[in-house]
Chain A
Amino acid sequence: MSNRHDLLGEVTKSMKIKKLRSKIAIAASLVLSAGLVATGLPSAQAAGLQPTAKQLAEWKGKTISYYFYNDSQAELDTTKKQIAAFEKLTGATVKLDVIPFTNYDPTLQARLAAGNAPDVARLNNPGLYIKDSLDLEKYLGRKYKNEFLKGSTLQVTHPTTKKLIGVPYDLTVNGPFINVDMFKKAGVAVPTSWNWAELIAAGKKVQKATGSEYAFAIDKTGHRVSTVMSHFGAYMVDKNQRNVLPTSKFRAEKAVKMITDLYIADLAPRDLWIGTGTKYSSPTAIFLGQQTPIFFSGNWQVASLAKDAKFDFAAVPNPKELNGGGWPGGKFLTAFNTSKTPDLAAYFVYYLADAPQMEQMDKDAFWLPVRVDLVAQGVKYATRSSDMAVFQADAARTPAAAYGIQSVPTLTGLIYNNLRDLMTDIMGGKITAKEAIAKQIAFIDTQLATLKK
């Protein structure tokens, strides 16, 4: 657990010693700048890794493909700009494949099976690609992983070789958004702290006052529901790859029942959850359409909401029961071992994850930083900084136990999806919350047993 705890610890500590590190960072950047002026190297190469003249000659005219999905237009726009700069720097071409998130992993897995793997991919479930990922340490060095928050590299560390097979691209934190205009219209104060009963009461009050279709909506995924379970002190897998749900099953039942009751009572969009089968779905459009005053999702939504919302919205703190805080997630960059130009693919990963590019992306797309240097210096968001501060504070408040499930990177998706499908069954009256948690316990046991085979 200490490794996952390190991530939180680092975030908290880094906030405390931010000023000191800022000074160090400024001093370091002055030294680097002086070096850059002297050598005339582009900023992308400043952090240490520089392509050799031989590599540049080899890369010229080469093409690599980048398999990518975006949560917001800002992510895509910034990526395109960074690709253009990379192409100018290396003389290589990057073919950007933008894939919808709904079918992201199935499409990538089909491409891998067909021998048509991309060179580099942005992933949110790197555990599925452990066998296919390139050993980045071979190209970027053993110490490269130290550039990132320690806990965030766990999901991209090979389980047996312990080599780095990807890099963290951002840290995500789950949490609620509210429609401030609707809250104001209903005379409900914007919460600065609350528990789940207060959240639901506020949602109902705003719904009644504004005539909105729903009081609350949450992304249809076990990952988001795990946040609610965490608030009640329930977890599924710990850092030692053990099923810990039996020890907190009553708390889990309470959390799951509370959410499913909202859907059964039609206070949340049942059509979106039940009517989409086993697919992922997000009520973003429902929130944007002002059909719900509260939308439980995560910080990656800030950019698209800022662009598309025709009303005042705000990120508000996660409700606190036994625990507060969010639930960790993140995106990763991986190069594939089938790449014909692995050094170019590795360098592309390095380039995108290097401080200047990462800082730009963090600012443009409202990402939370995962680089140690950026965490230390802090990212200054031009707009929506108060929303990002809420997510950063919730990241620091996230319990260490929330990182436990990351110890089984190949199983996280399965465990989350099964929880989601069991919740659908509760909403349909097929099973009770108690039966759902009992089934989830059995499912986790079965899945964990596969690790031992």
Chain B
Amino acid sequence: MPYLFVAPNMLIFLTFIIWPAIRGFQISFFDSMDGRTFTPVGTGNYRAIFSDPTIAEVAKNTAIYVIFYVIISTVLSIAFALIINEQQFAKGFFRAILFLPVMLSPVVVGLIWNDVLDRKVGPLNSLLEALGGGSPGWLVEPTLGMIAVIFVGVWVHLGFYSIILLAGLQGIDRSLLEAAAMDGATRLQIIRTIILPLLKPTTLVILILATIHGFQSFDFIYTLTGGGPFGATTLIVQYIYDRAFQTPIQYGLGSAAGVILFMIIFAFTALNFLVGKKRQAI
């Protein structure tokens, strides 16, 4: 009987997640320019990826993006969750404001920030110029381009992570915090020694989610920078997209890159999970 209840969900999961994943793995050993005729190439696609001169740059970009994105979004979401948790008035309003970017379409996010970050007529540079800060080329300088996409990535997901952490915070027994306060613990001590350790399981979820989101980032980056300037914001998913859907179409190569991405995400998620579990046991 329980299997019957989960059957509809499982059917959707198998059809739209598992089956395409298996097909993707299978296609990664073929060469196909049209998705209908397949020529077996063995591990040729994997070898082609690792000998592609652009893959090192893409891997470096992805690593930089994921590291900074995960650290910044985790730290900031904890900070915002703590602030909102302590908020006495208009708590719902601030929560809604924080969550607003999550509800925006990634394409819209990319377009909005593309306008905001425009070097000559963007409002950000107008403000910076008024303050005597010059006109940084956010979308034309490689380093600034990477900073811009990390910032926008964090901006998009911050509300989502903060809400999850807020739920975790509200699950902490208030009596523990009150007892610590009565014993003379400062606000910082309470956060460091009680709240953060108790928030570890939720933080682990955030770390895993942020890592996955970081590796999968594509849509808003594609709209914001198109992977530029000079390929500085081309991450692994855009690499897959370009191989699979831009001429000359190479579905096999795109699938092989997808398999590699899956293995990387799987390894990081497993590592996060194992480290978190080990620490919890200690």
Whether A277 and B225, one on each chain, are in contact in the complex, defined by CB atoms closer than 8 angstroms, is: yes
Report which of A109, A291, A424, A430 forms a contact with B121, defined as CB distance below 8 A.
Answer: A291
Nearest-neighbor residue (CB-CB) of B228 within chain A: A277
Is B50 among interface residues, defined by CB-CB distance under 8 A?
Answer: no
Contact with B along A268-298 (1 / 0, CB 8 A): 0111001111110100000001010000000
Contacts of B245 in A (CB 8 A): 106, 109-110
Check A277/B234 contact, CB under 8 A, given A113-B36, A131-B34, A271-B140. Answer: yes
Do A275 and B139 touch (CB < 8 A)?
Answer: yes
Residue B159 is within 8 A (CB to CB) of chain A in the complex: no
Contact across chains for A113 and B225 when beta carbons are under 8 A apart: no
| A268 → chain B closest CB, angstroms | 11
Q: Which residue of A lies closest to B231 (CB)?
A: A277
- Nearest B residue to A115 via CB reads B36
Contact residue among A109, A112, A128, A270 (Cβ-Cβ distance under 8 Å from B140): A270
Nearest A residue to B224, CB-CB: A275
Inter-chain CA distance A113–B30, complex, in Å, is 14
Is there a chain B Cβ closer than 8 Å to A428's Cβ?
yes
- Contact assessment for B229 and A275 in the assembled complex, using a CB-CB cutoff below 8 Å: yes
A289 to B122, alpha carbons, bound, how many Å?
A: 13
| Stretch of B4-12, B90-98, B164-172, B246-254 lying at the A interface | B246-254
Decide if A414 is an interface residue (CB 8 Å cutoff): yes
Contacts of B139 in A (CB 8 A): 271, 274-275
Question: A425 — which chain B residues lie within 8 A by C-beta?
Answer: 230
Answer whether residue B44 sits at the interface, using C-beta atoms and an 8 A cutoff.
no
How far, in whole Å, are A132 and B33 apart by their CA atoms in the complex?
12
Q: Is the CB of B35 within 8 A of A279?
A: no
Tell me whether A274 and B140 are in contact in the complex, defined as CB-CB below 8 angstroms, given that A106-B245, A413-B247, A414-B248 are known contacts: yes
Task: Look across to chain A and name the residue whose beta carbon is closest to the beta carbon of B120.
Answer: A213
Q: A106-B246, A113-B35, A270-B140 are in contact. Are A275 and B120 (CB under 8 A)?
A: no
Classify the secondary structure of A's interface with B: helix
**Is B230 touching A274 in the complex (CB atoms < 8 A)?**
yes
B34–A276 touching, CB < 8 Å? no
**Is B57 part of the binding interface, using a Cβ–Cβ cutoff of 8 Å?**
no
CB of A449 within 8 Å of the partner chain: no
Category for how many chain A residues contact B: 20 to 34
Cβ B121 vs Cβ A276 within 8 A: no
Task: Given A106-B246, A113-B251, A128-B247, verify A270-B226 contact (CB < 8 Å).
Answer: no
CB-defined contacts of B119 to chain A, threshold 8 Å? 270-271
A131→B245 CA distance, assembly (Å): 17
Q: Is the CB of B248 within 8 A of A279?
A: no
Q: B226 touching A278 by the CB < 8 A rule?
A: yes
Contact with A along B88-129 (1 / 0, CB 8 A): 000000000000000000000000001000111100000000
State whether B247 touches A274 (Cβ < 8 A): no
The yes or no answer to B137 lying at the interface (CB within 8 A) is: yes
Interface membership of chain A positions 401-441, coded 1 if the CB is closer than 8 angstroms to chain B and 0 otherwise: 00000000000011001000000110010100000000000
Flag B30-61 by CB within 8 Å of A: 1 or 0 each.
00101110000000000000000000000000
- Report the Cα distance A128→B33, complex, angstroms: 10
Q: Which residues 57-116 of A have a CB within 8 angstroms of B? A: 105-106, 109-110, 112-115
Interface residues of A in 110-125 (CB under 8 A from B): 110, 112-115
Residues of B within 8 A of A109 (CB): 34-35, 245, 249
User: A428 near B229 (CB under 8 angstroms)?
Assistant: yes
Partner of A278 from B137, B145, B227 at Cβ < 8 Å: B227
Residues of chain B lying within 8 A (CB to CB) of residue A413? 247
Q: How far is A105 from B242 in the complex, measured between Cα atoms in Å?
A: 12
Contact B140 A277 (CB under 8 A): no
Q: Digit string of A43-69 for contact with B (CB within 8 Å is 1, else 0)? A: 000000000000000000000000000
User: Assuming the A-B contacts A106-B246, A112-B34, are A274 and B121 also in contact, with contact meaning beta carbons closer than 8 angstroms in the complex?
Assistant: no
Contacts of A128 in B (CB 8 A): 247
B247 and A213 contacting across the interface, CB-CB below 8 Å: no
Is the beta-carbon distance between B225 and A275 smaller than 8 angstroms? yes
- B228-A278 in contact (CB<8A): yes
- CB neighbours of B137 from chain A (8 A): 270-271
For residue A281, which residue of chain B has the nearest CB? B226
Contact at A424–B228, with CB atoms within 8 Å? yes
Within 8 A of B (CB), among A127-159: 128, 131-132
Segment 17-36 of B: residues with Cβ below 8 Å from A: 32, 34-36
Q: Closest approach, in angstroms, between the C-beta of A223 and any C-beta of chain B? A: 14
- Residues in B with CB closer than 8 Å to A424 are 228, 230
Q: Which residues of B contact A279 (CB under 8 A)?
A: 222, 226
CB distance from B98 to the nearest CB of A (A): 28
Q: Is B233 an interface residue (CB 8 A)?
A: yes
CA A132 to CA B139, docked complex, whole Å? 39
- Per the bound structure, the CA–CA distance linking A65 and B230 in Å amounts to 38
Minimal beta-carbon separation of A215 from chain B (angstroms): 13
- Contact between chains at B230 and A428 (CB < 8 Å): yes
Indicate with 1 or 0, residue by residue over B186-228, a CB within 8 angstroms of chain A CB atoms: 0000000000000000000000000000000000001001111
Contacts of B120 in A (CB 8 A): 213, 269, 271, 291
Q: What string of 1s and 0s marks CB contacts (under 8 Å) between A172-213 and chain B?
A: 000000000000000000000000000000000000000001
Contact A114/B121 with A271-B137, A275-B228 known, Cβ cut-off 8 Å? no
Contact (A112, B228) CB under 8 Å given A106-B245, A271-B140: no
Residues of A within 8 A of B234 (CB): 277
Given contacts A131-B34, A274-B140, A291-B121, contact A430 B247 (CB under 8 A): no
User: Which residues of the other chain, B, contact A281 by a CB distance below 8 angstroms?
Assistant: 226
Interface centre among A105, A279, A281, A424 (most CB of B within 10 A): A279
**Subset of 30 A-B contacts with CB under 8 Å:** A105-B247, A109-B34, A109-B35, A109-B249, A110-B35, A112-B34, A113-B36, A114-B35, A128-B247, A269-B120, A271-B120, A274-B230, A275-B114, A275-B140, A275-B145, A275-B226, A276-B226, A277-B222, A277-B228, A277-B229, A277-B231, A277-B233, A278-B226, A279-B222, A281-B226, A291-B121, A413-B247, A417-B247, A424-B228, A428-B229
* Other 4 A-B pairs with CB < 8 A, given A112-B34, A277-B228, A413-B247: A114-B35, A275-B139, A277-B225, A278-B246
Across the A-B interface, the 8 shortest Cβ-Cβ residue pairs: A113-B35, A277-B226, A275-B139, A277-B228, A277-B227, A279-B226, A106-B245, A276-B226
